[in-house]
Structure formats: C-alpha cells, structure tokens
C-alpha cells in the first residue's frame, strides 16, 4: 500500500507509490516542464488524494500559481493548500496573507520560510486534522543563488528531518546544469530518491530513481494542458 502518489499513472505503477517520510529531488533542465509536473503533483495530491500541499515558491508569486490552475480549469481545494510566497515582497508588490497564502520576506530569509512551513504544518495537523502533507519547494536553485551550499544544506537537513518525523512527503526542485556537480551531490545525501527529467532532440523523458529497487525506465512525455501524457516506455 503506497502512502503518496504523483498522479502520473505509469510512474506510480512502476514504483508502487512513495513511502511516507520520503524526501525527493525533482531535477531537470530548464524549459522541460518541471513547473507543470510539480503543479500536476500538487493538484493530484490535494484534489484526488485529499492531502494537504504546502508549496514554497521562490520563482512565481502565489497569485500566479493559483491563476495557472484557474487557466487549466482545475478546481484546487484551497483549504488543503498552503503557499509560501518568497517573491512578491522583494519585488515591492502588495502582498496579503490569507488562509492559503503566507508571505516570506525574501528567498534569503530561510528562518522566516522555516517559520511559515512550521505554521502550515501546525494548521493542517491541528486545526484541519489532515494527516498526510506534501511539502514542495520550488526551487532550491533560486535559494542557492543567494545562499551558499552549506546554508541550504543546513536548512534542508532540518526540514527533511521534519518531513520524516511527520510522515509527510517532500519534493525539492533543482535546475540541472545550473550548479556544480559537487553541490548537487552534497544535497543528494539528504534525499531518498529523485524524479529525473532529461531532454533529448526536442523530446522530454522522466523517470524515478531510488524509490523502488531499480530506477524506472525513462518515459517519454508531453505536456497537454495540465496533463502529463506518457507516450511510451523504453
């Protein structure tokens, strides 16, 4: 019996679901659709599996993320959504917190981001009695632009530990090719597995590593609206 799923059927079937307490790196090149994949996992987690989903966003504003779902006619269950917006304030935008949005002061303010994550965890567990929680961080690459690898490692060390203790699922996005290999290798120690994406000759492929005994095959995929359509396994 699996604890968490991605909602991409072929992948879920191949690994048999993801154990609770897992921390997973989502790594892929720019423009390969990581955003859409993460949004898909978020929607599937919240709307279909009825989990709570906490998303830390360092790239798009919270409003922008919610609009994406509206544009794709997806009805996101807001009481089970928590977005931590690290963008709006530093851009000088007007940022109002509400039940599903909290505002952090900047991507450098890891202390503040940590506080907001803890607050959402408390709200989901205590007030809303939701036991299964996903934490998505999009992306570690932005955080790494402002902080060094040791700092990010310490931050992740704390929060991957909390994910384990809470029996939650953590997904952390990293741009491949943006950081030196040693940095990525350092961070990998903290993760139980990864969702890996590669682009070859205008085609995109996805696989999961470390979740099941062997890596899954590479699945070629296309993004159709909000759907991740698997073309064939090879």
Q: Where are the alpha helices (DSSP H) in 16-148?
A: 34-43, 62-71, 110-122, 140-146
Q: Given CA atoms 40, 172, 168, 76 in this order, what sign does their dihedral have?
A: negative
**Residue 197: enclosing H or E segment and its boundaries?**
strand 193-200
- Which string of x and - marks every residue 80-99 that binds another protein (by CB under 8 A)? ---------xx---------
Q: Which among 25, 24, 21 has a CA at the least distance from the CA of 162? A: 21
Pick the binder of another protein from 29, 79, 112, 217 (CB under 8 A). 112
Which C-beta is closer to another protein: that of 23 or that of 216? 23
Which C-beta is closer to another protein: that of 109 or that of 175? 109
Does position 63 interact with another protein (CB under 8 A)? The reply is no
Assigned token pair, 18: 């993801």
Q: Which stretch binds another protein (CB under 8 A): 2-10, 42-50, 53-61, 101-109?
A: 101-109
Q: What is the dihedral of CA 89, 180, 188, 147, to 10 degrees?
A: -30
Q: Which stretch binds another protein (CB under 8 A): 23-31, 76-84, 159-167, 170-178?
A: 159-167
Work out the angle between the directed axes of helices 149-166 and 181-188 (0-180°, nearest 10).
20
Residues lying near another protein in the complex (CB under 8 A): 89-90, 105-106, 108-112, 114-115, 117-118, 121-122, 125-126, 146-148, 150-151, 154-155, 157-158, 162, 165-167
């Amino acid at each position: 019996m699996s604890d968490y799923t991605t909602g991409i059927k072929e992948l879920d079937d191949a690994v048999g679901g993801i154990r609770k307490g897992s921390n997973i790196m989502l790594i892929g090149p720019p423009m390969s659709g990581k955003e859409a994949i993460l949004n898909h996992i978020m929607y599937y987690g919240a709307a279909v599996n009825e989990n709570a989903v906490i998303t830390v966003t360092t790239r798009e504003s919270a409003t922008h993320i919610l609009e994406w779902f509206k544009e794709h006619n997806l009805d996101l269950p807001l009481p089970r959504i928590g977005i931590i917006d690290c963008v709006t304030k530093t851009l000088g935008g007007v940022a109002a917190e509400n039940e599903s949005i909290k505002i952090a002061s900047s991507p450098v303010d890891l202390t503040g981001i940590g506080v907001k994550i803890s607050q959402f965890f408390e709200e989901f567990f205590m007030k809303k009695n939701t036991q299964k929680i996903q934490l998505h961080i999009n992306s570690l690459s932005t955080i790494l632009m402002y902080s060094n690898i040791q700092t990010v490692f310490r931050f992740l060390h704390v929060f991957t530990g909390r994910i384990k203790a809470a029996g939650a699922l953590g997904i952390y996005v990293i741009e491949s090719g943006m950081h030196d290999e040693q940095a990525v290798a350092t961070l990998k120690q903290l993760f139980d597995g990864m969702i890996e994406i590669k682009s070859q000759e205008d085609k995109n492929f996805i696989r999961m590593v470390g979740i099941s005994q062997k890596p899954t095959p590479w699945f070629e995929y296309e993004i159709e609206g909000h759907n991740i359509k698997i073309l064939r396994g090879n």
